[in-house]
Amino acid sequence: MGDVNLSVTLAGVALKNPVIPASGTFGYGREYAALYDLNILGAFSWKGTTAQPCDGNPPPRIAETPAGMLNAIGLQNPGIDAVIREEVPNIARIFQGPVIANVGGFTVEEYAENCRKLDAVEQCKILEINISCPNVHAGGRNFGTDAKAAAEVTAAVRRVTRKPVFMKLTPNVSDIAEIARACADAGADGLCLINTLLGMRIDLKTRRPVLANRTGGLSGPTIFPVALRMVWDVYEAVRLPIIGCGGVASAEDVAEMMLAGASAVEIGAANLRDPYLCKRIVEELPEVCKRLGAERIADMTGAAHE
């Protein structure tokens, strides 16, 4: 068996491999660029960015759990204008590949305005729309927990950009396939799933929740089986490329996600434990593919369904 072809495409965007550090765990690339050459990566998804600067939630906002972690960072970011002005030029210096812009918003109009501004940013090849944000016009209910609201955001963003639109879905729903279909029908080019599961811990000494926000997003290896099942379900429900995400921590996990239906895979919480992990996964993927008899990694997408 010859060299393994690791290249994949996401809605027409070519990636040299399917490995993508996930939003929220990679910032805007600065810190990791000091550790290794980011150009080994297929892409990276930058930190969730909103219209206005956001300080995030009060501390404590991270807590360990068995086989994972809880976070309630609260979309801390410098705002879209500062990111375009300061971070985008820096990203171009440290990474030459396609960048995925993770976009947050508290109203439909804010999502659309952010995406309109990003449409002119050449290196941002994909817009990843985080619909796990609270809808301020719906009493704080997340856009992604309601099919109608998810479709509304998808359609609004689709109207203002030529770039591929990938909707990042929350797992905190009874039927993720329903949300996926609503996004597909509204014009999404792809989907990213899953975001974190809702969880909490209580400090036995204080008898109070560990996180100041009370609840936080559960991530890490503990959620991998849930993420895998949801990628499988969504692959069966829609014909759109999927970025699989949730608890991925090894090259074998990447292969499993792709067999379930992912075209590319994001690695999140595991970067915080081992900042070199994505680099190592890229290096180990060819051997895993050879073991599985795959000469082209793209052929593995959805292969477990056949």
| Alpha-carbon gap, residue 280 to 145, rounded angstroms | 35
133 is catalytic: yes
Q: Which of 54, 133, 183, 289 is catalytic?
A: 133
List 219's β-bridge partners, or say none: 69
| Alpha-carbon gap, residue 201 to 5, rounded angstroms | 43
What is the Cβ-side half-sphere exposure of residue 282, based on CA atoms within 13 angstroms? Answer: 20
Residues known to be catalytic: 133
